[in-house]
């Protein structure tokens, strides 16, 4: 509840898949969280996501099986949950290395 007694809520959308699974999406919250993460990482968050998605696409083009079913939203979700200090190295390559190393050691 808000300070004035009103209810706070996030506008979202939900739908059911053919398999009966409900998928929920909170686009405004997702967008705001992304903006914060981008600013808190020295404006590198979005760039690293784009780099990782390009890497995934190249791996798919080369028929690398492990890249076959990697969704864009999975990449974005993984990166959004990483510590901000993994970003901001001298090069984007260093940031990508740190991000991938962190993800691979936390499984």
Residue 107: is its pLDDT beyond 60?
no
Pull the structure tokens for residue 44. 């590198």
pLDDT value of position 21: 85
pLDDT value of position 73: 86
Q: For the segment 28-52, what is each residue's pLDDT rounded down to a tens digit? A: 888 899 999 999 999 999 999 999 9
Q: Are 58 and 46 in contact (CB under 8 A)?
A: no
Alpha-carbon gap, residue 34 to 29, rounded angstroms: 8
Q: How far is CA 87 from CA 42, 92, 94, in A?
A: 7, 8, 8
% pLDDT > 70, the chain: 88
pLDDT value of position 27: 78
Domain assignments of the chain as residue spans, ordered by start: 13-105
DSSP string, 2-29: -TTSPPP----EEEE-TTS-EEEE-HHH
pTM of the model: 0.76
């Amino acid at each position: 509840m808000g300070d004035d007694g009103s209810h706070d809520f996030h506008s979202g959308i939900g739908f059911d898949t053919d398999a009966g699974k409900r998928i929920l999406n909170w686009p405004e919250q997702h967008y705001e969280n992304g903006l914060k993460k981008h600013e808190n990482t020295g404006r590198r968050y979005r760039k690293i996501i784009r780099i990782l998605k390009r890497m995934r696409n190249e791996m798919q083009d080369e028929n690398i099986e492990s890249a076959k079913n990697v969704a864009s939203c999975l990449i974005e979700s993984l990166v959004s949950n990483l510590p901000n200090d993994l970003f901001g190295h001298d090069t984007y390559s260093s940031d990508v290395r740190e991000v991938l190393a962190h993800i691979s050691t936390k499984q």
